[in-house]
Structure 1
C-alpha cells in the first residue's frame, strides 16, 4: 500500500492513501471500521485497483490520522470524506464503507448524493436502539478503566469467525495491533457518533444505487437489521456473505468479492 498523504483539516490532520488504476480511472473511496485503519482493506486493493483509482483514508483518531477532541458526529465524519475528495480534486466517486465506515457512507448517500455514483454499505446499522447504545456505554466505561486492551479480545471475536481465528493467527495479531494503535480519544469520539445514529428514517430519500453487504454471523450489524435497511432504500439489494462475521471482506474475501463485483463493474 502507498505511503499516506497527510491532509490538514484545520486543527488536526487526516492520513489518506491513493493507489490503484492510473489517473483518469473512476474513483472509489474506502471508509474503515471503528478500531481499524486503511490496512483492513488490503485484501481488496489489488482487486479494486484493476478498475478504480482508490482513495483509502484513516478515519479521524485511527491509523495515522490525528484525533481532535470529541465527541464527534456523523456530520464531522462525512465532512472529512468530502474534504479529502476536494483535496484530491475528486468530483464524484463510488464509495465503500464497513461498520462505522458504512454508516458514514449512508450519511453521504443521504445528504451529498451528487458526489457519489454508488455506495456499498457493509455490516452497518442505520439507527441506534437502546441495547445498541447501552453496549457502547459499557465499552466506553471499560476503556476508561482499562484502555483499549479491556475490549480488544471481545472485538476480535466479533470481527472474525472461529475458522479464521484458527487458520490465521498472524493476521489476528496484526488486527489486534491495529486496534490497540487506535487513539482512545478517537475511538470514544466515534463511539459517541454511533450512539446518536439516526439514518433509518432517511433511507427512503436515497436516490443513488446502494448495495448492502453483511456477514451471516455478524452480531453487531445483524443480517435482519440490514435486511430492513435494504427494504427501506429504493432499489437497494442485500447480499449475505456465508461463514463470515463483522469483517467479511477479510474472513471470506473470496465470497465478498464475488458479491460486490457486479455492482462495482469488476470481474
Structure 2
C-alpha cells in the first residue's frame, strides 16, 4: 500500500483487513518490515499499518532535510488515508519519538499509544552527537556498522538464541539508504518534544529495556512523568529493540494481562 503526500510516497506494509488500525512506527535506519512478526500477531484483531519513514525502505525522499515533526505528518497521512482512525499507535526508538509528536499534534488520530525505548529529548549535546552519528552513517560502509548496531539493539542472550531474527534485522539495516539514515540522525538531534508531553491525551504505555543504553530508562521515566496517566514498564535484561526482543510483551500492549 502506498500513500501519496505533498512530500512524496509513503510505502506502508499492510497486514490484516479488519478491526481498528494499528500503526507501527519503526526505529532509525530500518523499515516497516522490521515489524513483520508483530504485524502477524495483531493481524486477526487490527488493520496493521507499518510505514517506511522517508528514504527508508520503499518510501521516497527528495533529499531535503526533515525533522521528527515531518515524519509525524507522514504518519498522520497514513491514518487519514484509511479514513478509519483513530488508530492504536506503537512507536519504537525513532518511531516512539515520531509517535509522541503525532499524538501531541494530532490527538484525534490516536486512540491508544505505546512508546518503546524512545525519548522527547536526547540532551543538551544532542545536535553535535547526532551530527557525528550522521557522519558515520554516510561515510562508513554499512556492513562495518553492524557490530555497533547489534550491541545496541539486542542483549547478549537474545543474540545467541535468535540468530535468524538478528540476521533479518541486519539485512533491513544493510538495505537502508545511507543518506536517509544520516538525515534521520540529524532529525533526532534536533528533537525537543518536552513541551508537547502535556498535550498527549491518549492512554499511554511507556516501555524501555533495562539495558537500553541508546535511550536509557531515565528517558522513558521522563516521558511517563510528563504524560498524564502514562504507565511505565521497565523490561529486565532487554536492550533497545525491546518489542522485537520481548514477544511476551505483545499481548499486554493495550492493557491485556501480563
Please indicate the TM-score interval, normalised by the length of the shorter structure. Answer: over 0.9
Figure out how many residues of one structure are paired with residues of the other and give that number.
258
Instruction: Give the Cα–Cα distance (whole angstroms) in 1 for the partners of residues 125 and 251 of structure 2.
Output: 33
Does structure 2 conserve the Cα–Cα contact (< 8 Å) formed by 1:214 and 1:241?
yes
User: What TM-score results when the alignment is normalised by the length of structure 1?
Assistant: 0.89
Relative to structure 1, the CA distance from residue 233 to residue 174 in structure 2 (aligned partners, 3 Å threshold; closer, same or farther) is same
Shift of 1:147: 3.8
Alignment partner of 2:151 out of 134, 146, 157: 157
Give the corresponding residue for 1:216.
210
- Is 1:8 the counterpart of 2:4? The answer is yes
Give the corresponding residue for 2:119.
125
Deviation beyond 6 Å, 4+ runs, structure 1: none
Structure 1 alignment gaps of length 5 or more = none
The aligned runs of 1:57-206 (5 Å cut-off) are 57-206=51-200
Relative to structure 1, the CA distance from residue 258 to residue 86 in structure 2 (aligned partners, 3 Å threshold; closer, same or farther) is closer
Deviations 1:229-264 (A, max 9, x none): 20111111111112211111112221x2254242xx
Structure 2 alignment gaps of length 5 or more = none
User: What TM-score results when the alignment is normalised by the length of structure 2?
Assistant: 0.92
Matched position secondary structure for 2:176: coil
Alignment partner of 2:226 out of 227, 232, 240: 232
Deviations 1:105-162 (A, max 9, x none): 1101111101111110110011131344333222222233324334332012100001
Give the corresponding residue for 2:250.
257
Instruction: Give the Cα–Cα distance (whole angstroms) in 2 for the partners of residues 234 and 146 of structure 1.
Output: 42
Does structure 2 conserve the Cα–Cα contact (< 8 Å) formed by 1:67 and 1:183?
no
